[in-house]
Amino acid sequence: MSRFNFIELNYRYIFSHLIILSFFLFSQLNTLGAQELIGISADWDNSLKEWTIYTTDDHLEGELQTRWMIDDDWSDWSIRFGQLDGRIKMKWKDDPNEWEFRSGNITINARTVFKNDFREWRIVGSRHTVNIKTRFGNIFDEWDASNNQGQFYLRTAYQGDPRDWQIEDELETTPLEIKVVLVFIALYTTTFLQ
């Protein structure tokens, strides 16, 4: 075997393994974006500071909790969901009309469409914008969000009880970060702003 053929075989071997490795890494990174959310529940009946987010994958759950467990500070939350680790925080102190989600280099803003009208919100990411609003005016037990990629419904499992929520997630190409903010806004508004 000539030296040229040996070098060419090594390059082919390395190139084929890089393609396989790239495909594997891309498929693993993309699994979070494709998650379908099905529910969220408070971890405790007497506290709304810790929540678990459920998906169609039984092995993947998310955590949503206040960052300051001792104080009654509801303006700063942390989210952990698989490889997603972020923070949802009121943009301006004592103004629940605007929130900001940050995770790594991703920033998503949520703000009421009309000041102090908590029935309708606009969620804006770098490539996605989704509006979420109460389904029936001043009844905060059901929320509806939609864009050109599908719809997203949230409703309390039991009317008037914000501890358990059911989710119908048809936003297949919408990033998980946007979906988490949608859930948070409905949950926070229903629980703390009514």
DSSP string, 162-194: EEEEEEEE--TTS-HHHHHHHHHHHHHHHHH--
Tens-digit pLDDT profile for residues 16-57: 555 555 544 444 444 444 578 999 999 998 888 899 999 988
User: Are both 138 and 58 inside the same structural domain?
Assistant: yes
Say how many domains are in the chain: 2
150: alpha, beta or left? (left if phi > 0; alpha if psi -120 to 50): left
Nearest to 174 by CA among 132, 135, 130, 110: 130
Regarding whether 99 and 57 lie in a shared domain, the answer is yes
The 10 Å Cβ neighbour count of residue 96 is 17
CATH of residue 86's domain is: 2.40.160
Q: Both 86 and 153 in a single domain?
A: yes
pLDDT at 118: 94
Q: 140 and 174 share a domain? A: yes
- 23 and 61 within one domain: no
In terms of domains, do 22 and 42 share one?
Answer: no
For residue range 125-164, list pLDDT tens digits in order.
988 899 999 999 888 999 999 877 789 999 999 998 999 9
Domain around 155:
35-192
Q: Does residue 6 or residue 14 have the better pLDDT?
A: 14
Same domain, 64 and 7: no
